[in-house]
Amino acid sequence: MEKRSLGDGGPELPVVGMGTWRTFDMLGGASRDVVDAALDAGVELLDSSPMYGSAEELLGDALKGRRDDAFVATKIWTHSADEGRHQAERALRWLGGHIDLYQVHNLVAWREQLALIEALRDEGLVRYTGATHYSPSAFSELADVMRTGRVDAVQIPYNPRERAVERQILPLAADMGIGVVVMRPFGEGGLLWDAPGQSELEPLREFGVETWPQALLKWIFSDERVTVAIPATSKPERMRENAAAGEPPWFGPEERALVERLATR
């Protein structure tokens, strides 16, 4: 699978990662199978949050014995300084004593929580810092956070129906050498409900596309400003299907335009 650097001087990561919102909270024991499928397919970045019910703890359980194969991204999500420290203590306990990318979730109390994340980094418990937001209404504040030079990566939505990041966030990330993690590559699954037929995907076959989810992922990776996308799934075979989209070749403008037409008709 292709690897890209998480910002200037950051680690090289395979372009396909995995999210855990909803899929892990509801799953229980099956999460081990999905994590095994992900790691076996070469996926490294696994994303979670205390906002996702018991997903962080389940991810930690599923990684027992394989923690070093993964690059774990999780988040702090609270207005309270005390609760922020508790979330960090729990996450460190569940996730093998270190967090690879620690992000401020939805920019909640970002000044306080980013300072905590930096302190944990200085103690050697966190490797990289980040901030996330899902809403275009918060992107100008996210850009302000990026301009402080204190985050190594941002996590934002990007897919053919959600392109607001193209205006400010992606150019700024490229200029500043900040990594980009793409949430919601399938629009929380909404982009898959009315999937195009096989004949409509024919022009994409020579790019290694066999399925519509793979076309959507390749559309994202064809933008070189993206570092990793994190589709969530509860099914090991879908994790393998998604991981297969991490191999070049990438689309040119014509193929990107085709995917945009199919996704927005």
Site string for ligand NAP, 203-222 (x = CB under 6 A): ----------x---------
Site string for ligand NAP, 157-186 (x = CB under 6 A): --------------------------xxxx
CA distance 117 to 126: 7
Site string for ligand NAP, 92-131 (x = CB under 6 A): ----------------------------------------
Site string for ligand NAP, 125-164 (x = CB under 6 A): -------x-x------------------------------
Q: Is 189 in the site for ligand NAP (CB under 6 A)?
A: yes
Structure tokens at 98: 């270190």
Chain center to CA of 204 = 24
Q: Which of residues 246-265 bind ligand NAP (CB under 6 A)?
A: none
Smallest distance, Å, CB 215 to ligand NAP?
11
Structure tokens at 226: 């993206």
Smallest distance, Å, CB 126 to ligand NAP?
18
CA distance 255 to 261: 10
Smallest distance, Å, CB 123 to ligand NAP?
25
Q: What is the DSSP letter of 19?
A: B
What Cα–Cα distance (Å) separates residue 217 from each residue in 130, 164, 192, 197? 22, 17, 12, 17
Angle separating helix axes 81-94 and 55-62, nearest 10 degrees: 20
Sign of the torsion angle spanned by Cα atoms 27, 32, 38, 44: positive
CA distance 251 to 256: 6
Q: Which residues bind ligand NAP (CB under 6 A)?
A: 19-21, 23, 47, 132, 134, 183-189, 192, 213, 230-235, 238, 241-242
